[in-house]
Structure 1
Amino acid sequence: MHLLPKTECLNEHLFANRRHARELISAWRDDYNHHRPHTSLDGLTPWEYHQRSVEDQTLNRAN
Structure 2
Amino acid sequence: MKNENALVNEKPSRRELLITLVHRVNRLELRLQEILDEMRQGFRDLRGESGVVKSDVSGS
TM-score of the superposed pair, with normalisation by structure 1: 0.36
Bigger fraction of residues in helix: 1
Give the number of the structure whose alpha-carbon radius of gyration is greater: 2
TM-score of the superposed pair, with normalisation by structure 2: 0.37
